[in-house]
A and B are shown apart, each in its own frame.
Chain A
């Protein structure tokens, strides 16, 4: 399959900092990808460049087969609602009406359903909405646009748990009906983990992990138990992280554990807990510096 989004050697420098440093990423068409990383890692800058709102210092960007900047053929097939999206002096219904003119696949029925779900009054002035309600408007536009490439930047900042669940449910339901390429940045990694088919982790402007979500399940495991048993079990395995507390140790090992290894761990009286996606992301940021750094490229296969 051809990638819907393809970025090579992308760098964005601002006066005194490098927001993106030689980023190369490919996103398959028809997938939901999580763009993960800490605050200031470069997620928003990457999304803005993909949406043609910001320009790269160097490198190449291709969305739906062409550079997006000032390219209406690409731009009109893509939707990007920013976390801090600025609106004119509009009411909610003005923003939705304007959006309906510009997105060729706009689904007014879905937009109506969503604003009802989110309890977002069409006659409310956008400027006076709470942060959560503005996020709800962004989500409504992003989903109802039904654009081939849908970019969400922290789409649920300020939304309560119920509204976030509405977002996950609607996103999956609509995605099942109309598959498209969705790239979603978020901090709430574990909560959204079930959505992602693949993840891209950025740290300090660099891609530190790009993998299929399935390949990441069980890719790293926390082994805990008596120090000697843990040491015996982890000998010869790549290790990210060790923690010792008295006679107990807790070690993060990398690599899938086969049935034999699990049986052995049981016989040694060890606890095995797979790392969650969120923990993986936290560790991924430290990888390049880790002397015992494991090669996770296999995970993307």
Chain B
């Protein structure tokens, strides 16, 4: 068994956190939304079909967006995977590099599997007319609304991105504690601010607007994947000198 696989298994030796917790959060959000949407009347509009004019349930205002709770849990898991588990990982004789890579491997496997599960749940949602209450829980307009493979790919990349981002926070917190973490956030805000200023001075907002309105989900997924890769490299550079 390679060290990387052992590190991934190390995280899963207590599987509750990684395999159950996020789903519990999502299940709770789901039940709350089913109840809310069950008591909220559905608006209908008429549509011309092969059977003539029929009344169709409208999806306007039927999307919950509560799926983001699941994605945010991945950010939390990423933080924990380093913040809580690194000290004992190093005690077990793993190098920081292997620990980081093995944890990233776990992130990719989890995101892949959970993305597939979300895709399956989305398919069920479509078949059951939104769980019988016309609810768009696993469908998110624009983002997760296309064919199954696109839903899978986008959720996979999104989940992995947030996990890896959380890992970087975990490393920064371990190494520089609270003040360092706040500085880390401030640095990111500064970078974004700098970019916004540059765009403003260059009168580039129209171009930026066109870029984003023209961006397909596949294109966005590609951008997120590049961002995830960049975060992965940044975290790797940071963990090399982390002490516990």
Contacts and interface: CB of A to CB of B under 8 A. Distances in A.
Interface of A: 48, 51-55, 70-72, 75-82, 85-91, 94-95, 97-99, 101-103, 141, 147
B93 A79 contact: yes
Contacts, number: 77
16 contacts: A52-B90, A53-B91, A55-B241, A55-B243, A70-B240, A72-B3, A76-B93, A85-B91, A86-B84, A86-B87, A88-B84, A89-B17, A90-B88, A91-B14, A94-B14, A97-B13
Contacts of A78: 93
Nearest to B3: A72
Contacts of B243: 48, 53-55
B17 A80 contact: no
B95 A85 contact: no
A72 B94 contact: yes
Nearest to B6: A101
A257 B100 CA distance: 59
A270 to B, nearest CB: 52
Given A85-B88, A98-B13, A70 B95 contact: yes
Contacts of A55: 241, 243
Interface in B65-112: 80, 84-85, 87-88, 90-98
Given A89-B84, A101-B6, 18 more contacts: A51-B91, A53-B243, A55-B243, A70-B240, A72-B93, A77-B93, A79-B91, A79-B93, A81-B91, A85-B91, A86-B87, A87-B87, A88-B14, A88-B80, A101-B10, A102-B10, A141-B91, A147-B93
Q: Most B CB atoms within 10 A — which of A48, A88, A89?
A: A88
Given A72-B95, A88-B84, A101 B1 contact: yes
Contacts of B14: 88-91, 94
A80 B85 CA distance: 16
Contact of A102 (B6, B85, B240): B6
Contacts of B94: 72, 75, 102
Contacts of A81: 91
B244 interface: yes
B93 A94 contact: no
B72 to A, nearest CB: 19
A80 B6 contact: no
A91 B97 CA distance: 26
Interface in B8-35: 9-10, 13-14, 17
A71 B88 CA distance: 17
A80 B91 contact: yes
B105 to A, nearest CB: 15
A127 B67 CA distance: 32
Nearest to A81: B91
Interface of B: 1, 3, 6, 9-10, 13-14, 17, 80, 84-85, 87-88, 90-98, 240-241, 243-244
Given A53-B243, A55-B241, A72-B3, A87 B88 contact: yes
A169 B231 CA distance: 50
B3 A95 contact: no
A77 B88 CA distance: 16
A241 to B, nearest CB: 40
Given A53-B244, A70-B240, A88 B85 contact: yes
Nearest to A84: B87
A82 B96 CA distance: 18
A102 B93 contact: yes
A191 B65 CA distance: 64
A133 to B, nearest CB: 16
B198 to A, nearest CB: 36
Contacts of A103: 92-93
A87 B85 CA distance: 7
A2 B17 CA distance: 46
A76 B3 CA distance: 10
Contacts of A89: 14, 17, 84
B211 to A, nearest CB: 41
B140 to A, nearest CB: 31
Q: Most A CB atoms within 10 A — which of B9, B84, B92, B240?
A: B92
B36 to A, nearest CB: 32
A82 B97 CA distance: 21
Contacts of A54: 243
A94 B87 contact: no
A100 to B, nearest CB: 10
A71 B244 contact: no
Nearest to A69: B95
Nearest to A72: B95
Contact of A98 (B80, B92, B241): B92
7 cross-chain pairs, A with B, having the tightest CB-CB distances, nearest first: A102-B92, A86-B87, A75-B93, A88-B85, A76-B93, A70-B95, A94-B13
A54 B241 CA distance: 8
B243 to A, nearest CB: 5
Nearest to A99: B92
Contacts of B95: 52, 70-72, 75
